Amino acid sequence: MTGLLLVTACSATDRPSERADGPLRTGLTDTERGILGEAEQRLISDCMRDKGFRYGLDLDTDGPRGGVPERRFGSDDVAWARRHGYGLAEAARSGDGNGSGKAAVAGNSPQARYVASLTPGRKATFDRALNGTDRAAIVVPAPGRGQIFTSADGCLADARRRLYGDLRRWTEAKAAVVNLEYLTFDAVVKEPRYTKALADWHSCMKARGLAHSNSSEAIGAVAKENRSRTAGKAWKHEVTVAVADAECNRAAGLARTGIRLQREHVRDAARHEFARQTRYYTRAVTTALTRARSLPDSTSG
C-alpha cells in the first residue's frame, strides 16, 4: 500500500516464486505470527517516522489468541469447561461479548491519543501516509467470502511488500489459504466418520437430559435459558452443560475427528484447487520470516 517501493522495482530475487520446495504451508505457528506481526509493525513505524509521524508499535494486530478453546467441532477441554463454562458469563461481566472491550482499550492507547491530537489536515495526511491514497487499488477474490480490497501505496503496503513481495499475489494467496478451513468445513461435517462421532456425542448428551443437535445449539440454549436466572444459578447451569458437552465430546472423539478430517481436506485443497495460491503463500511466508529475523534491533517506534 505504499508509493515508496513500486512492485515493478522489485527484482526477480526479491519476489517469492509460485513454486515451493518442501511441504506446503496452510498457516502459521503462534511464534511465526508474532515474528511477522512485529516485523510488519516495525517497518510501518520506520516508514511513518520518515514521513514525519509517530507510529507506536501495536503487536496485537491479529487479536488475542488462546483463551476460549476452538469450537469449530465443539470442545473436548473438560478442565476449561469446569473453570469457565462456555465463557458466556465472563464475556457478559466484561462487556466484551462482541469484542467491544478490545476496541475501547485501543481507543485509549498512546497511538490513538496521538492521532486524536493531530489537526484535521494532519490527521488526513497521517491516514494517507499509513493506508495509502486508494484503499481499493488492489482487488482480489476471497474464496467463499467475496472480495478483498487493499491499497497499493502507503506505509502498511510498503511493509507488506518488503516482507512478502508482490502485493496482489500475496493478498490473493493469503485470502485463499486463510479460508481453507472455512471452505472445507461443509465437506468435513458430511464425512461418515464425523457424523458417527456427532451421533455418539448426541447420544451421550441425551443420556444426561440434554437433547441438543450440536454444541452450538447447546450454547445458544444456555444463553437463552440463563436470561431468566440469577447470576449464581446461570453460572452453575452454564458450567453443568459445558462440562457435559466437553465430556461427551471427548468420549465420542468429536473434536479430534473433526480436526483430523479438516486437516485432510485442507491439505487436499492446498494441493489441488488452490495449489497456485498455496505455493505462493508458502514461499512468501518462508521469505518473510527470513527478512523479519534480519531486521535490525534498533528500529525505533
Q: What is the mean pLDDT of each run of 10 residues along the chain (301 residues)?
A: 33 42 86 95 95 78 53 94 91 57 55 92 96 94 92 96 96 96 96 98 97 94 93 94 98 97 97 97 97 76 41
Amino acid at 43: L
pLDDT of residue 89: 80
The predicted model scores a pTM of 0.77
What's the rounded Cα separation, in Å, for the pair 296 and 301? 13
| pLDDT score, position 58 | 56
The predicted pLDDT at position 90 comes to 78
- pLDDT, residue 57, reads 65
**pLDDT score of 118:** 94
Instruction: Give the model's pLDDT for residue 92.
Output: 73
Query: Quick one: pLDDT at residue 107?
Result: 60
**pLDDT for residue 99:** 41
pLDDT given for residue 56 in this prediction: 83
Least Cα distance to 177 among 262, 64, 267, 66 occurs for 267
